[in-house]
A = this chain, B = another copy of it.
Amino acid sequence: MSSRRNFIQKTAMGLAGSAVLPLLGKSAAAVAPEASAALPITVGIAGFTFAKFDVDQSIAMMKRIGVTNLSVKDIHLPLNSSDEKINAVIGKLRGAGINVYTVGVIYMRTKEAVDQAFQYARKVGVNMIVGVPSYDVLDYAEAQVKAYDIRLAIHNHGPEDKLYPGPKDVYDRIKDRDPRVGLCIDIGHAMRAGSPPEKAIRDFKDRLFDLHIKDVSQAVKEGKAIEIGRGVIDFPAVIKSLRKIKFNGVCSIEFEKDMTDPLPGIAESIGFFKGVARGGE
């Protein structure tokens, strides 16, 4: 099993590193799963994890932890970047074997911000945006989803979030919209908002596009970011739910503790999440 896994990982790395991908296309590159007899669980990194680091430092950390899928955050590629800047940053990431599979979290409070987000996503070459559209631009955002054929995964941000505290607050506002409008469930913020992620994953499976994976110290507003496995989230149950709904997207770890020295915590978190997935096979 392990030899096969290594082969597949190396092959996928080779492809990601050498493929000439259209920088202005609509499709994201295929993701490289953890191969196994059970449903593969694909891990990635949410770019906010590297908020205190530049692109080169982020690449170095991703290589160290052996993760290739990245959700690019505007900290590393501003929304108003020129085409040249976008091609340079995305080209550098792809050249390092990194698969940029989405962008976000992008906040959209005006129609102009919605336009900017979709133009940016098209130029980056992803088929999904992780975003937070204000209620009054939801109709407009849905229209852009159709016009660009780019999915919109709306992100929940916990009890402090006036728009989307938990996944249900997203789902209730999008369930009758175009099927390309869905959820990025942030499982840590969901937990703090009283929504156990293993249940939310099943409840909103038809619209679940992306995940921000993290752990929190307590299942209340005051819960703090903590290494995955040390907190209150039931990760075996999360993995079981993901396999039950046959989730085929990316589980992006977003580590928000020790942000100026995050590598040990990122590594422990990635290790634990992959270990739970392997142990539950």
Contact = CB atoms under 8 A, between A and B. Distances in A.
Contacts of A2: 231-234
Contacts of A275: 229, 235, 271-279
A270 interface: yes
Q: Which range holds the interface residue count of chain A?
A: 35 or more
A186 interface: no
A109 interface: no
A268 interface: yes
A66 interface: yes
- As for how many copies of this chain the complex holds, the number is 2
Nearest to A231: B2
**Secondary structure call for the A interface:** helix
A278 B236 contact: yes
Nearest to A217: B6
Interface in A191-232: 227-232
A76 to B, nearest CB: 20
Contacts of A137: none
A2 B191 CA distance: 13
A281 B275 CA distance: 12
A254 to B, nearest CB: 16
A88 interface: no
A17 interface: no
A11 to B, nearest CB: 15
B281 A236 contact: yes
A234 B37 CA distance: 13
A267 interface: yes
Given A65-B268, A276-B279, 14 more contacts: A2-B231, A64-B264, A227-B271, A228-B271, A229-B271, A267-B267, A271-B272, A272-B272, A272-B278, A274-B275, A275-B275, A275-B278, A278-B279, A279-B279
Interface of A: 1-3, 6, 64-66, 227-236, 239, 263-281
Q: What are the nearest 4 A-B pairs in CB distance?
A: A275-B275, A279-B279, A271-B271, A271-B272
